[in-house]
């Protein structure tokens, strides 16, 4: 894992960033860290620069404005692939994804799946046996479970935690997804990436994690963001069904 990279997108996370990066460096000392800051007005970018100055394994990608989680990750993936990093990890900046669980996710990438196939993507899952959440209100838990269930149904996904943000990708998996075709920039980005992974025939496995609600700072989640994601998922699902119907019609006419 000498070229592993942990990507941490940030926007107004000055209270959390330094402690989180320190935990990552202890949990997986051989991995590098890329902080992707969207011009945080609270000075998170300056803190990231200080961390990078003190530790050569920490890097910072500055973006000029808040352009969405998906856009931050796509820029980070491009940065990572250009520099030969493999695998590449997604991790939230608020501490909800525990760095101490990252070695387990990385180990799952190196083991075959239940069918003996090489694994391309590992999902840190809240909704499989062994997964858990801490300090979430019941309303938010139900919303997350419903969102994953809806995405699974509309897009024919097998992943239980379709909206999970703690993920590990092989570099070849990101290339196979064809990132130029991923256009979602907000909350739906996680589902969009998973859908593209399925379409590319990638092997995705889930590993149980304990998701911990942030202690400091404010969540970026809002009902509008969730609604926007569900509208996109609905559109993708309908388009996919029309495509499959046309394929069946073509096969029937040619039979």
Which among 182, 198, 197 is positioned nearest to 232, based on CA atoms? 182
Percentage of the chain surpassing pLDDT 90? 65
6 in Cβ contact with 31 (< 8 Å): yes
Ranked by mean pLDDT, the top range of 65-79, 107-121, 145-159 is 107-121
pLDDT (0 to 100) of residue 15:
94
Mean pLDDT of the chain: 88
pLDDT (0 to 100) of residue 130:
97
pLDDT (0 to 100) of residue 1:
45
Segment 53-63, tens digit of pLDDT: 999 999 999 99
33 in Cβ contact with 57 (< 8 Å): yes
Residue 132 neighbours by CB distance under 10 Å: 12
Please state which CATH number belongs to domain 5-254.
3.90.550.10
């Amino acid at each position: 894992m000498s070229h592993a990279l942990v990507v941490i997108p940030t926007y107004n996370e000055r209270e959390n960033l330094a402690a989180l990066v320190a935990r990552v460096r202890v949990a997986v000392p051989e991995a590098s860290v890329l902080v992707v800051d969207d011009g945080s007005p609270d000075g998170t970018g300056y803190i990231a620069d200080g961390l990078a100055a003190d530790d050569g394994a920490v890097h910072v990608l500055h973006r000029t404005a808040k352009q969405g989680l998906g856009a931050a990750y796509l820029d980070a993936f491009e940065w990572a692939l250009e520099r030969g990093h493999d695998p590449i990890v997604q991790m939230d900046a608020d501490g909800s994804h525990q760095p101490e669980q990252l070695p387990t996710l990385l180990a799952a990438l190196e083991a075959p799946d239940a069918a003996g196939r090489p694994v391309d993507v590992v999902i840190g899952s809240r909704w499989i046996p062994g997964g858990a959440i801490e300090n979430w209100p019941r309303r938010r838990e139900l919303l997350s479970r419903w969102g994953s269930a809806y995405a699974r149904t509309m897009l024919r996904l097998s992943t239980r935690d379709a909206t999970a943000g703690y993920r590990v990708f092989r570099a070849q998996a990101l290339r196979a997804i064809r990132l130029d075709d991923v256009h979602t920039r907000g909350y739906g980005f996680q589902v969009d990436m998973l859908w593209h992974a399925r379409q590319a025939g990638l092997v995705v496995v889930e590993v149980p994690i304990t998701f911990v609600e942030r202690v400091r700072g404010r969540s970026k989640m809002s009902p509008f963001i969730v609604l926007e994601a569900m509208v996109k998922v609905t559109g993708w699902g309908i388009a996919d069904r029309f495509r499959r119907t046309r394929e069946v019609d073509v096969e029937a006419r040619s039979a």
